[in-house]
Amino acid sequence: MRKGNNTFISNWLKRSSWLGMLLLLVSCDLIKMKQEAPAADSGRIPVARVNRAFLYKDELSGIVPPGTAKEDSAIRVEAYANSWIRKQLLLQEAARKININEAEVERKILDYRYSLIAYEYQAVYIKQNLDTAIASSEIERYYKDNIDNFILKQNIVRATFIKVPKSAPRTNKIKELIFSKKDKDSEELKTYCLSFSTAYHLVDSTWMVFDELVKNSPLAEIPNKIQFLKANPYYETSDDTYLYFLRVIEYRISDNISPLEFVRDDIRTIILNKRKVALAKQLEDDVYKSAVRDQEFEIFK
């Protein structure tokens, strides 16, 4: 399961969409184009012009980072100028072809500006006050309370998978080491994989998506992976170049409940995002209550 709730950050990103940013950046220019544009300012150095709109050298501050080579600086400035020209052409075309409700545009600009400033303040407040410590018991409780949300979309396994060249030494001993329960054999297998394996994963508590584990191997082409996992706790195969060894300790089939360990990090993220939402709401409520107490606002009727 890789499913999350609507988060504080995603909500604000929606409010700070590219449409909103475009509105903020260009709407004032669009309104001004309804009026007659002034001629070039004689006290400033123009870099580009579109009809009577000018881009000046002093407006390029920050475009080129300090220490940038002269040739790279010229490329950056030219790219920015070309982008500015394209924007100006589109804006001037829009000014000629559509009627602009200036009051409505200004209201949207202000609304977006207020949202952006509020988001920045909330982000700082959350960073300063967010408790990132999450107890295992809280994760387990959330998992149990929302168990139906954690349905697997893919087959997952706890397994050992090893891919070695056919030319590797002692390949006939790999199966024995995989099944051994002795610590020294586990260490020997790890050392062997580090020395000769092209890809490997040694079984531990980690659950992995089966398709990701066996990618770039003949196992990835198995048509019915569910039936394969049910019938093959151990499997060996090969191609022209490599030998492949797979031992499956546990598996979970798609459309079943995910084990907690597989979604633990997801739940941690969900809980943190819920805390962020709560902090943002708390900040808004505290500011409002303080303003009411101090009589900082009123609504005129």
pLDDT at 248: 97
Task: Tell me how crowded residue 281 is: count the other CB atoms within 10 A of its CB.
Answer: 12
CA-CA distance, 161 to 157, in Å (whole number)? 11
Q: Over 50: is that where the pLDDT of 22 sits?
A: no
Q: Over 50: is that where the pLDDT of 166 sits?
A: yes
Percentage with pLDDT > 90 across the chain: 69
For the stretch 135-155, pLDDT in tens is 999 999 999 999 999 999 999
* Residue 141 near residue 265, CB atoms below 8 Å: no
Q: Over 90: is that where the pLDDT of 98 sits?
A: no
3-class DSSP state of 253: coil
Q: Kindly tell me the sign of the dihedral angle through the C-alpha atoms of 25, 26, 27, 31.
A: positive
* Residue 99 near residue 253, CB atoms below 8 Å: no
247 vs 190, 210, 220, 236, 253, CA distance in Å? 15, 12, 15, 9, 16
pLDDT at 63: 85
216 against 3, higher pLDDT: 216
CA-CA distance, 91 to 119, in Å (whole number)? 28
Task: Tell me how crowded residue 169 is: count the other CB atoms within 10 A of its CB.
Answer: 10
Comparing 96-105, 147-156, 263-272, the range with the smallest average pLDDT is 96-105
Residue 18: pLDDT band with limits 50, 70, 90: very low
CA-CA distance, 163 to 241, in Å (whole number)? 10
Residue 95: pLDDT band with limits 50, 70, 90: confident
